[in-house]
Structure 1
Amino acid sequence: MPNDGTAHRSHHEQSIAVAAYVRRHNARAVPKTDFAPHSPIRTWPTKSPARAP
């Protein structure tokens, strides 16, 4: 094992492990609900402002 602070033998092995972690994390992710419910941004108009020509 290299002594560079990782438990992986190569960059390729490390990238495989990171990709697997990200896929596993994303598969279990759920959307946040009621995030900052009292934030003033929630009272902003929902329509987009008119665009300048």
Structure 2
Amino acid sequence: MRNLSPHRHAHVRAWCHADAVELVFLPTYGSWLNWIEAEFAALRYFALNGTDHRSHAEQNTAIASYVRWCDARAQPKVHFAAGSPIRTWTDYPAKAA
């Protein structure tokens, strides 16, 4: 997840601990590591690129069709970057110029 300050709030951390949820924060400028970015890229590629929808309804139908297709083939994402230092950083490394 991104490094948004509310994600580090004590209530969020308590909820995560109680529900066995591990928060994995992305490095600064590491949005390309975020799964949702890949999902949006696939959506653009398969449902929107090279199209000329005549209406918002037609565009929404294309998006909904793609999402239904993905949902029917969905697999849980587990064990992401198990050996990665991203999971163990307490402070981010200094930026180098």
Task: Number of aligned residue pairs: give it.
Answer: 39
Q: Report matched runs for 1:24-39 at 5 Å.
A: 24-39=69-84
| CA deviation string 1:19-50 (max 9, x = no partner) | 1111111111101232111256878xxxxxxx
Structure 1: distance between partners of 2:86 and 2:59: 40
Q: Which has the higher helix share?
A: 2
What code does the residue aligned with 1:31 have? P
Provide the alpha-carbon RMSD of the alignment: 2.2
Using structure 2 for the length normalisation, give the TM-score: 0.32
Aligned partner of 1:19 in structure 2 is 64
Q: Which has the larger radius of gyration?
A: 1
Q: Say which of 49, 52, 55 aligns to 1:7.
A: 52
Q: Letter of the aligned partner of 1:16 in structure 2?
A: T
CA distance in 2, matches of 1:9, 1:29: 30
User: Structure 1: any 5+ residue segments left out of the alignment?
Assistant: 44-53
